[in-house]
């Protein structure tokens, strides 16, 4: 996930950023599902879901020059 954060912070490479956002979302939701499967504490389930939510918000609010397709 460290590489995903670096890719998101770079100014260019819009396609790489899209994949980085997808990586963060799928990784964090997978972590939460795994934690649910082993009956882990709620904290260990909620924190990755919060990180996934932040990734979604960050993806949605990214600048227009960092998008592959316009959302208008």
Q: For the chain, which residues make up each domain, given as ranges?
A: 2-66
Rounded to 5 degrees, φ, ψ at 23 are -60, -45
Handedness of CA 55, 60, 63, 67 (dihedral sign): positive
DSSP class of residue 40 equals: -
* Residues of the chain where predicted confidence (pLDDT) is lower than 50: none
Give the C-alpha distances (Å, rounded to integers) separating 43 from 30, 36, 37, 50, 54: 15, 11, 14, 10, 16
- pLDDT of 46 reads 96
C-beta separation of 7 from 37 below 8 A? no
């Amino acid at each position: 996930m460290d590489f995903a954060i670096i890719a998101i912070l770079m100014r260019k490479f819009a396609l790489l950023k899209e994949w980085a956002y997808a990586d963060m979302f799928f990784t964090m939701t997978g972590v939460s599902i795994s934690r649910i499967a082993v009956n882990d504490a709620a904290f260990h389930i909620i924190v990755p879901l919060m990180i996934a939510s932040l990734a979604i918000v960050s993806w949605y609010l990214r600048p227009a020059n960092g998008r592959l397709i316009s959302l208008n």
